Amino acid sequence: MKFSVYLNIAYKPGIRDPEGDTIKKELFSRAGLDVDVRAGKCLVLTLEASSEDEAREKAVRLAWDLRLGNPNIHVIEVVRVLLWEPDAELRERGLRG
């Protein structure tokens, strides 16, 4: 079976996040909002696995093995896992009925 695994790669808590700081300063602070902003990367990996749990484990292992994040400063978390459908991503974005 194929699964789409959504990963979030972000700085660990306590590690300075320059992109998040800039977004907070330039967008939210100017609007008078006091919010904390953490920026990261969202990746969708589509891979073969026999179960949702295996897909989750494979995706995280691949992310670390390929150095998509630095283990000293980043966390890699699975946001969600979906059974893959050819047009699922397009439907979610409203690009296909």
Contact between residue 78 and residue 56 where contact means Cβ atoms under 8 Å apart = yes
- Among residues 1, 16, 92, the alpha carbon closest in space to that of 54 is found at 1
- The pLDDT tens digits of the residues spanning 58-95 come to 999 999 999 999 999 999 999 999 998 877 666 666 66
Q: Which residues pair with 9 in a beta bridge?
A: 41, 76
pLDDT of 96 > 90? The answer is: no
Q: What is the pLDDT of residue 46?
A: 95
Picking from 73, 64, 80, 78, the residue whose alpha carbon sits closest to that of residue 10 is 73
Could you read off the pLDDT of 25-49 as tens digits, one per residue?
998 888 888 888 999 999 999 999 9
Please report the pLDDT score of residue 71 as a whole number: 95
pTM (2 d.p.): 0.78
CA distances 20 to 11, 38, 43, 70, 91, Å, are 10, 5, 18, 18, 29
Whole-number pLDDT of residue 29: 80
Q: How far apart are the first and last CA of the chain?
A: 24
Query: What pLDDT digit, counting tens, does each position of 12-22 carry?
Result: 999 999 999 99
7 pLDDT band (50/70/90 cuts)? very high
What is the per-residue pLDDT for 94? 64
